[in-house]
Amino acid sequence: MQDLLKRFWAGEHRALARLISILENEESGRDELMRQIFSQTGRAYILGVTGSPGAGKSSLVDRLTFLLRRRDLKVGIVAVDPTSPFSGGALLGDRIRMQEHAVDQGVFIRSMGTRGSLGGLANTTKEVVRAMDAFGFDWVIVETVGVGQAELDIMHVADSVVVVLTPGAGDSIQTIKAGIMEIADIFAVNKSDLPGADKVALEVEMMLDLHTAETPWRPPVIKTSSVTGAGVEDLLSAVEKHRAYLMEKGLFQKRREARLRSETLEILDRQWQQLVRKEMKLSEEVNGLLEKVARRKIDPYTAASSILDYVVANSNLRSKKEAGAG
């Protein structure tokens, strides 16, 4: 592990890829790795890009990446597809388009699907973003298909969120309904060369008129074309403007602090679950209670309360014994 970290700090892409695999597969030593890289995190700007399948998110991210590279900024990309069973750098079809970046040491792309992220995609995504941050990327872009609540949760890792809509998809209003309104900091109306782009942009502006009166930041609506590249500079400017807004209002710091707090509580829950699993291996008591539920002799709620009391009392006893022995 120390060898892996050495190569990680030396900037080896393969060491980063290996570390991400450890996170995805929940291999042992994962928490220790995250602990060791923590001090180097918190410096990257994290951009979320979400939208329906086929909205052209990947191409748009590709275009943004080129612009950032031109400014000599290093970019890490996490492409999350909750409907794909595949994980790993080269497996997703649309990643082929990104091959132009392949020889560029300033860009790293990782695709993540449902497989290879046992602890839930949202949780693993957070850790992968953190790893890329520690590795030294100036920007980390998280790209995901916005279908359900789980996918919206992934976006909570980002400092700024771009929601990508398209004309004629018929789903613009549908998508906005599904809670996306609340997470969007910027709207991109992509495929703006197609008829109906103006209509979609207008619809979004009308929804914004209704919803954002109470907040000081009104999400700008930018028309883009990932094919011609039109509007992508404007999109990046809009992101920069949002970043400046967050910094100025102290929201950037505030949000990141809140995120660290809630992440700690999530890690706490995982550690608790590990403790329960350990007690299940060491004692008959917990298994006996689960067995009683399975045979419908007690209800799950009563059993859970008894297990909670038991694990708390017992792990306390164990740690006292260990302390006494040591």
Chain positions contacting a second copy, by CB under 8 A: 31-32, 34-35, 38-39, 42, 82-85, 114, 121, 147-151, 174, 177-179, 257-258, 260-261, 263-265, 267-273, 275-276, 289-290, 293-296, 299-305, 307-309, 312-313, 315-316, 319
| In the complex, minimum distance from the CB of residue 123 to a second copy, in angstroms, rounded to a whole number | 12
- Residue 54, phi then psi, degrees to nearest 5: 85, 5
CB-wise, 156 or 241, nearer to a second copy? Answer: 156
- Nearer to a second copy by Cβ, of 32 and 209: the residue is 32
Nearer to a second copy, 166 or 192 (CB): 166
Residue ranges in 138-196 assigned as alpha helix (H): 149-154, 172-175, 181-183
What is the smallest separation between the CB atom of 54 and a second copy, expressed in angstroms? Answer: 11
Q: How far is the CB of 259 from a second copy (least distance, A)?
A: 9
State the Cα–Cα distance between residues 128 and 17, nearest whole angstrom: 10
- 8 A C-beta contact, residue 122 and residue 150: yes
- CA angle 241/248/152 to nearest 5° reads 60
Contact (Cβ atoms closer than 8 angstroms) between residue 129 and residue 157: yes
Q: Which is nearer to a second copy, 21 or 36 (CB)?
A: 36
Cα dihedral: 277, 279, 283, 287 (round 10): -40
State the pairing for strand pair 107-112/139-145. unpaired
CA nearest neighbour of 178 among 200, 202, 153: 153
Nearer to a second copy, 99 or 302 (CB): 302
**Which of 35/70 has CB closer to a second copy?**
35
The DSSP code sequence of 298-314 is: S-HHHHHHHHHHHHHHH
Closest distance to a second copy from the beta carbon of 205 (Å): 21
The nearest distance, CB 292 to a second copy, in angstroms, is 10
Residue 266 C-beta: closest distance to a second copy, Å:
8
